[in-house]
Amino acid sequence: MLVDRNDFICKKGEDVDFFGVLIHGVTFVSVDFCRIRTLQIGDMFGFMAVSELSQSTKQKYDVIAETDGILAVLPFGDIKSESRKNPTACFKIL
């Protein structure tokens, strides 16, 4: 997934429905307009929600693109179906 500078990748309060890995670029995490962390290449988000495998998990913070970038995105539905077929492979990915 391509993102442009200042794009909201995730918004606080919205459903989390994917696991993401930053492949290129820089993003930052913000809570109530306060920057709390910078995410760089290789950093992941959405992985705590994946561990619960729940579709009702809400995003706890905003993730905003600081630069143009690329994200690898795995939708939860795909993760759930693959984990039933090959749980060992999904465990290694996550």
- Which residue's entry shows tokens 């996550």? 94
Q: What pLDDT, on a 0 to 100 scale, did the predictor assign at position 45?
A: 81
Largest CA distance in the chain: 41
Q: What is the mean pLDDT of residues 75-92?
A: 75
CB 68 within 8 A of CB 25: yes
Q: What residue spans define the domains of the chain?
A: 2-93
Q: What pLDDT, on a 0 to 100 scale, did the predictor assign at position 8?
A: 94
Give 20-72 pLDDT, tens digit per residue: 899 999 999 999 889 999 999 999 887 655 555 555 577 888 999 999 999 99
Give 6-18 pLDDT, tens digit per residue: 999 989 988 878 8
User: What single-letter DSSP state applies at residue 58?
Assistant: B
CATH number of 2-93: 2.60.120.10
| Nearest-5° Cα angle at 93, 21 to 91 | 135
Provide CB contacts within 8 A for 56, sequence distance 6+: 15
Q: What pLDDT, on a 0 to 100 scale, did the predictor assign at position 27?
A: 96
CB 76 within 8 A of CB 18: yes
